[in-house]
Every structure is written in C-alpha cells, then in structure tokens.
C-alpha cells in the first residue's frame, strides 16, 4: 500500500525547532512548505514570521521555490515536430468524414 503520510523528520534541520522564536515550529513550517510553494495554501502570518526568524527554513523555502521556477522556465517547451497538428487533424477528420 502506498503511504499517504508525509515523512516525519525528513528534513535536515527539524532539530532547529526549539531554537526558533516564531509562533510555529520548523516542523509546522516544513509540513506546509510544499503547499505554500504550490499555492495550495496561503502563507499564514505565523509562517511568514517563521521564515523571517529561521534561516534554515528560509533557505529551504528559497531553494524549493527556485527549483520550481527553473523547472517551469527551462522544461516547459519541447518543439512540436513539424506536421504533427496537421497529421492529427487529417487522421481524425478524414476518418470521421468517411
């Protein structure tokens, strides 16, 4: 069976949580980091404050965001083979008409 749970303590600096003065811990922050970066959730004030207070979490946020952005920018386009669109339409509409 596939696990539906995110791994616990899967990131290197969870142990920093007790050193941070923000209102959420590193674990809380990392639990929602993907969701915030993917715009599935809006960042709460506590989340934003935590990033201001905790350098490792801020670095992780910046790195993950940079990777997402560069993937979108650099891997988003593969040139279409010439004639592909025409051949699709030809096959479909010729068959449909026949």
By rule CB under 8 A, what string of x and - marks binding of each residue 52-91 to another protein? Answer: -------x--xxxxxxx-xxx-xxxxx-xx--xx-xxx-x
Q: Which is nearer to another protein, 23 or 62 (CB)?
A: 62
If one counts every other C-beta atom within 10 angstroms of the C-beta of residue 16, the result is 17
Number of residues that bind another protein (CB under 8 A): 43
Q: Are 56 and 18 in contact (CB under 8 A)?
A: no
Q: Spell out the alpha helix ranges (H) of 1-98.
A: 26-37, 45-53, 55-74, 84-97
Interaction of residue 45 with another protein, rule CB under 8 A: no
Residue for token pair 């069976």: 1
Of 7, 21, 42, 94, the one binding another protein (CB under 8 A) is: 7
Residue 5 contacts another protein per CB under 8 A:
yes
Cα angle 50, 72, 31; round to 5: 30
Query: What is the binding site for another protein (CB under 8 A)?
Result: 2-12, 34-35, 38, 40, 59, 62-68, 70-72, 74-78, 80-81, 84-85, 87-89, 91-93, 96-97
């Amino acid at each position: 069976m596939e696990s539906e749970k995110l791994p616990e303590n899967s990131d290197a600096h969870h142990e920093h949580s007790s050193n941070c003065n923000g209102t959420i811990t590193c674990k809380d922050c990392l639990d929602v980091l993907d969701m915030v970066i993917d715009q599935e959730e809006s960042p709460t004030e506590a989340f934003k404050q935590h990033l201001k207070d905790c350098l490792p979490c801020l670095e992780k946020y910046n790195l993950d965001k940079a990777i997402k952005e560069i993937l979108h920018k650099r891997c988003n386009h593969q040139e279409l083979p010439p004639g592909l669109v025409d051949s699709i339409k030809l096959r479909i509409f010729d068959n449909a008409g026949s």
